[in-house]
Chain A
Amino acid sequence: MKGSPRILFIVILMLGLAVVPLLADYFDEPFYTVMFSRMLILSIGAVSLNLILGFGGMVSFGHAVYLGIGSYMVGIGTLHAVEDGIDWMANGFIQIALAIVFSAITGLVIGAISLRTRGVYFIMITLAFSQMLYFVAVGNEKYGGDDGLSLYMRSDFNGLINIANDNSLYYLNFVILLFSLYISHRIINSRFGMMIRGAKSNEQRMRAIGFPVFRYQLVAFVIAGTLCGIAGVLSANQTEFVNPSVMHWTHSGDLIIMTVLGGLGTLFGPVIGAVAFLFLEEFLSEITEYWQLIFGPMLVLVVIFARGGIDGMLVGLDKWWHKLSSHSEKETG
């Protein structure tokens, strides 16, 4: 007997995600399409965070900022399109392009300052920068301030896809998730990715070999930010609402939890983590209003006992399975 329960699980998960809207329509429960849509969007965010956190060892505690930037591109864009008649600002392609540009610039500035530091300093500085941008959004009365903006309509993709329909938006999210997984896969297996991973395990050695570690890490930081910026565009379209809380520091914390819960430094870990996180939230809040009373200690226990996250458990399952199958082969052969 060969095979791997872990790969089987991941394949089933991805196939399952691919058919969610069909099943939801069949059972007439459109709520699930929306819920899983959120999972996909946060998966993209977690996949992007995993690039720097999981593979690069850079504990960025401000990743939700890029979700915010992407969201505000949509919010501000549709606001101007509707109120001032600037049509191109409601165009989804342009919004994504702007989200990429602004996320990249933000990532460049935050990264250039934060990456000069290490360890706890890095964590706190990324956190502080995200809080700073959060306050910029809160203080900006023109674009809703604390209350945020309600979207008049979702982004317009030149009629190529009409995401006013929840199912189309779901598949747009799904395709972009696949795209970010592909990008992620290509990056971590490239020379660049090797370098980033090398710097995680021994930065001094990488520098001694002659790699400009800072520059490479900065590029990784920017790439992760832009990917998450795209997720922000999708997120605003999903909720049809933009407000500063999307970049609140606890939301950055949620992204870290998803990544760690799924499995740091694995390709599909963040997807598993995001799905598991939102399921837990949904499930626990169904049981009790005080669901965080359970979720908080659970998080502490996961950190203390399950270090590889869910993917780590699956790897353990794989090992057990291989041992089991080699045993049975010996017995039969």
Chain B
Amino acid sequence: MNWILLLEQTLNGFQFGILLFLLAAGLTLIFGIMDLINLAHGSLYMMGAYFAATFTSWTDSFLLGALLAVPASMIFGMLVEMIALRTLYTRNHLDQVLATFGLILFFNEFVRLIWGPIGLDIPLPEVLNGSVDLFFGIRYPAFRLVIIAVGILVAFLLYLLVSRTKLGMLIRAGASNRQMVSALGVNINFLYTLVFGLGAALAGLAGLMAGPIMTVEIGMGEGILIITLVVIVIGGVGSIKGAFVAALLVGLIDTVGRSFLPDILGLFFSNDVADTAAPAISSMLIYLLMALILAIRPQGLFPPKGA
């Protein structure tokens, strides 16, 4: 087996996991606190990438573009919450699924109207475009390292926010007993909008960081949304810790599985069988993992307390 490739793919998996975590953290917070299942979360990711592409071309700087895109995603998310989603909190999950599905259709078309049907590229500055020498003589793209670093930093800040600040206390309280929080005089509507904005900012951040690696295109948020749903189901809906563990797990298994499954299958079957079966099986891996985990623990790995 090729160890350098394995290490590289592990880093790639880690980096994918970090992106998944940024999406999953928002989604799981929104679900845990507002009891809202938001399929349009992938659209927020897409909007983040489009904002970043636009701001980068306006300012000629990826850094500035990124710094502007995060608050833009946040404001956008808060607007969406205030206009469309607020009425859905008291509705059943079917209504929420349908309405947010409608929002996906709307956002995709909206983007097509504004930015056109052709995908955009986000150009990276020279510094981030190259590769960096890592240990064992591995050269790894600098930007992917930045993604990992930013993701870990954000995860840490999120941990501080949730466990050490007043807002975090309200978020935790909201997740375990919403009625009580509002009965105690907290402005729950404002808290909801804020949490949604936070989730949107995280999704936008994930989108703008994914933009330079993949293309920025319509519907880019949908594939990753479903994987994010798998992540939060595995981690336990409503749990940020669960989202973090599950995101890394899913990211690693998906990425490493895709590149090594043909080899692994090749050990047991003929090369022909391995080559035809591997792509199908490797894209099934994370769903198999989900089925396995749910068969053992239907509530996910880290179900939040009091849920």
| A interface with B by C-beta (< 8 Å) | 53, 59, 61, 113, 116-117, 119-121, 123-125, 127-129, 131-132, 135-136, 138-142, 249-250, 253, 256-257, 260, 290-293, 295-300, 303-304, 307
Contact indicator B102/A129 (Cβ below 8 Å): no
Given known contacts A128-B230, A132-B284, A132-B287, is B294 in contact with A117 (CB within 8 Å)?
A: yes
Contact indicator B237/A121 (Cβ below 8 Å): yes
Cβ 8 A contact of B229, one of A53, A127, A136, A299:
A127
Chief secondary structure at chain B's binding surface:
helix
Q: Which of chain B's residues have a CB closer than 8 A to the CB of A291?
A: 109
- Who on chain A is nearest to B219 by CB? A250
Q: How far is the CA of A296 from the CA of B113 in the complex (A)?
A: 14
CB A265 to nearest CB in B, in angstroms, measures: 12
User: Quick one: which of B212-246 are within 8 Å of A by CB?
Assistant: 222, 226, 229-230, 232-233, 237
CB A225 to nearest CB in B, in angstroms, measures: 17
User: Quick one: which of B263-307 are within 8 Å of A by CB?
Assistant: 276, 279-281, 283-284, 287-288, 290-291, 294-295, 298-299
Q: Which of chain B's residues have a CB closer than 8 A to the CB of A296?
A: 102-107, 109
Contact indicator B31/A120 (Cβ below 8 Å): yes
Contact indicator B226/A297 (Cβ below 8 Å): no
Q: B108 at interface (Cβ–Cβ under 8 A)?
A: yes
Interchain Cβ contacts under 8 Å between A and B, 24 examples: A59-B93, A61-B97, A113-B295, A116-B298, A119-B93, A125-B233, A128-B226, A128-B233, A128-B287, A131-B226, A132-B288, A139-B281, A253-B98, A290-B112, A290-B113, A292-B105, A296-B106, A296-B107, A299-B98, A300-B103, A303-B99, A304-B88, A304-B95, A307-B95
Contact indicator A135/B102 (Cβ below 8 Å): no
Cβ 8 A contact of A125, one of B31, B94, B290:
B290
Most-contacted residue by chain B among A116, A136, A300 (CB, 10 A): A300
Q: B159 at interface (Cβ–Cβ under 8 A)?
A: no
Q: Which of chain A's residues have a CB closer than 8 A to the CB of B180?
A: none
Q: Which of chain B's residues have a CB closer than 8 A to the CB of A138?
A: 280, 283
- Who on chain A is nearest to B110 by CB? A293
Q: Which of chain B's residues have a CB closer than 8 A to the CB of A253?
A: 97-98, 101
| B interface with A by C-beta (< 8 Å) | 31, 37, 84, 87-88, 91, 93-95, 97-99, 101-110, 112-113, 222, 226, 229-230, 232-233, 237, 276, 279-281, 283-284, 287-288, 290-291, 294-295, 298-299
Q: Which of chain B's residues have a CB closer than 8 A to the CB of A127?
A: 226, 229
Cβ 8 A contact of B105, one of A136, A141, A299:
A299
Q: How far is the CA of A250 from the CA of B40 in the complex (A)?
A: 12
CB A79 to nearest CB in B, in angstroms, measures: 16
Contact indicator B110/A121 (Cβ below 8 Å): no
Cβ 8 A contact of B230, one of A124, A139, A250:
A124
- Who on chain B is nearest to A257 by CB? B98
Contact indicator B87/A304 (Cβ below 8 Å): yes
Cβ 8 A contact of B290, one of A116, A128, A249, A292:
A128
Contact indicator B109/A121 (Cβ below 8 Å): no
Q: How far is the CA of A139 from the CA of B232 in the complex (A)?
A: 25
Cβ 8 A contact of A141, one of B88, B276, B295:
B276
Q: How far is the CA of A53 from the CA of B279 in the complex (A)?
A: 33
Contact indicator B280/A135 (Cβ below 8 Å): yes
Q: How far is the CA of A290 from the CA of B109 in the complex (A)?
A: 6
Q: Which of chain A's residues have a CB closer than 8 A to the CB of B91?
A: 303
Given known contacts A117-B294, A128-B229, is B106 in contact with A292 (CB within 8 Å)?
A: yes
Contact indicator A256/B97 (Cβ below 8 Å): yes
- Who on chain A is nearest to B238 by CB? A120
Contact indicator A113/B31 (Cβ below 8 Å): no
CB A263 to nearest CB in B, in angstroms, measures: 13
Q: Nearest 6 CB-CB pairs, A to B? A: A296-B106, A299-B102, A139-B280, A296-B105, A135-B283, A132-B287
Q: How far is the CA of A116 from the CA of B296 in the complex (A)?
A: 10
CB B238 to nearest CB in A, in angstroms, measures: 10
- Who on chain A is nearest to B98 by CB? A303
Q: How far is the CA of A257 from the CA of B98 in the complex (A)?
A: 7
Contact indicator A131/B102 (Cβ below 8 Å): no
- Who on chain B is nearest to A117 by CB? B298
Given known contacts A138-B283, A299-B105, is B99 in contact with A304 (CB within 8 Å)?
A: yes
CB A250 to nearest CB in B, in angstroms, measures: 8
- Who on chain A is nearest to B237 by CB? A120
Contact indicator A300/B283 (Cβ below 8 Å): no
Given known contacts A120-B237, A124-B233, A304-B87, is B102 in contact with A139 (CB within 8 Å)?
A: no
